[in-house]
Amino acid sequence: MWTKICGIRDVQTAQAVAEAGADAIGLNFYAQSKRVVSPAIAAKIVAAIDGGCEPVGLFVNHTVDEIRTICRQCGLQTVQLHGDEPPEQLAELARDFRVIRAFRVGAEGLSRAGEYLAACDRLGAMPWASMIDAYAPGSFGGTGHTAPWEIIRREYKTAEWPPLILAGGLRPDNVAQAVATVGPWGVDVAGGVESSLACKDPALVKQFVMNAKAGFV
């Protein structure tokens, strides 16, 4: 079970997350996020973990040039698109990076995600992984809202679509159930392991990683 802890903003927290056994950390470059990190600090974080886990750059409606510049500065090989980026932009980035495409899903289900992935397939550039997050009006994620597990389990075409990363409202006390219900390839958390806004709690991180792996059968 691949686990990612998103919204890391300092070296000490990144090292604690790596020691807890997480597979990846998320570095959020969206200026309007309360978990935003500067490229200069992100570069120090990447250097400090030194392969201990995979650093992922989270972008929301950045241009291709902006993404490339930040990735070069920080030493990133994996990017997460969490805004309104079209399939053509994903295809361009996929030439040089592993791309995680996030979709915000509510009661309407995965039809829009399916249409997007079909467009990617026509371009010959499927994402490295798909993240399914909860839809919340006016937000690009990180709200703590829970994604519709049963809809995702029923509608996600595992055999045809990229590996599924489940996000949205996950916490140490529900991640094992989420994994057992949905059967994702990976899970992603931000607020669910925080003691206060944007401040990760090492004990919660460790418990989350352990419970996520325990829920995987």
Average pLDDT over residues 109-113: 95
Q: Give the active site residue among 53, 71, 74, 133.
A: 133
Confidence of residue 142 (pLDDT cuts 50, 70, 90): low
Which candidate in 6, 53, 71, 74 is catalytic? Answer: 6
> Residue 135: its pLDDT value, please?
72
> Does 84 qualify as catalytic in the annotation?
no
Supply φ then ψ for residue 186, to 5 degrees: -150, 170
**What's the pTM value of the predicted model, to 2 decimals?**
0.95
pLDDT band at 95 (very low <50, low <70, confident <90, very high): very high
The predicted structure's pLDDT at residue 139: 54
Q: Mind listing the domains of the chain with CATH numbers?
A: 2-215 (3.20.20.70)
| Residue 215, pLDDT score | 74
What band does 143 get if pLDDT is binned at 50, 70 and 90? Answer: low
What pLDDT is attached to residue 52? 87
Helix%, strand%, coil% for the chain, nearest 5: 40, 20, 40
Q: Which of 16, 26, 7 is nearest to 186 (CA)?
A: 26
Mean pLDDT along residues 97-124: 96
pLDDT band (50, 70, 90) for residue 217: low
- Structure confidence at residue 183 as a pLDDT band (50, 70, 90): very high
pLDDT attached to residue 81: 98
**pLDDT value at 137 more than 60:** no
Q: Which of 47-51, 92-96, 160-164, 203-207 has the lowest mean pLDDT?
A: 47-51
What share of the chain has pLDDT > 70, as a percent? 95
216 or 87, higher pLDDT: 87
Tokens of 39: 């490229």
Say whether 133 is catalytic.
yes
Give the containing element (helix H, strand E) for 179.
Answer: helix 175-182
Q: What pLDDT score was predicted for residue 181?
A: 95
Q: Is the pLDDT of residue 193 over 60?
A: yes
Q: Is 19 within 8 Å of 205 (Cβ atoms)? A: no
Q: Give CA separation, 143 vs 64, 94, 121, 135, 139, in Å.
A: 26, 27, 30, 9, 7
With cut-offs at 50, 70 and 90, classify the pLDDT of residue 144: low
What per-residue confidence (pLDDT) applies to 174? Answer: 96
Within 13 Å and on the Cβ side, how many CA atoms surround 2? 17
Write down the pLDDT at residue 140. Answer: 52
